[in-house]
Structure formats: C-alpha cells, structure tokens
Amino acid sequence: MQSGRTKGEAETAIRNVVIKFKQEFMGRGLMAVKAFILPDLVLVRLKGVITQAERQLAKSSERIEMVKAMRQNLIF
C-alpha cells in the first residue's frame, strides 16, 4: 500500500471510520463491521444495521418497502 500501511491496517482504519460514522449519524452502533480491500474494490460488510422496530415492521411485504423508503430518505 502506498500510504505506508499494511492492507490489514487500512481495512481496520476503514472499519473504524464506518463505525464512528454510524454512531455519530444514527446514534447507535452496529453488531459487526468488516472491511475488505480487493484489487479494484473496497467492500464493507455491516451486520445489525436495522433496528428492532424496523425488523418488526418488515415482517409484512408492504412495510418492507416503507422501511426501505424511510432509510433512503434519512440517508439521501
């Protein structure tokens, strides 16, 4: 890596930035975050993104769309 960091260090730094953003922006953390640096892609896997309330709402198909729309309006 050109920055002087190892691949593992860079993946950890990306992971930490995502966790910090989630905590500051959404007011809560995630269950798990893992970052992967590939030759032409950076992939970040998030677990525990939706809240318990969203999970409960998403039990019916029309409410899944409501949760998606709410999330999109919040982020974008």
pLDDT in tens, 37-62: 999 999 999 988 788 888 888 888 88
Are 36 and 49 a contacting pair, CB within 8 Å? no
In a domain, 2, yes or no: no
Q: How far apart are CA 43 and CA 3, in angstroms?
A: 19
Residue 74 confidence (pLDDT) above 80: no
Mean pLDDT of the chain: 86
Q: Work out how many domains the chain is built from and give that number.
A: 1
Are 46 and 72 a contacting pair, CB within 8 Å? no
Q: How far apart are CA 12 and CA 15, in angstroms?
A: 5
In a domain, 69, yes or no: yes
Domain of residue 49 covers 7-75
21-37: buried (b, 16+ CB within 10 Å) or exposed (e) per residue? ebeeeeeeeeeebebee
In a domain, 1, yes or no: no
pTM for this one? 0.68
In a domain, 29, yes or no: yes
State the pLDDT confidence band at 75, using cuts at 50, 70 and 90: low
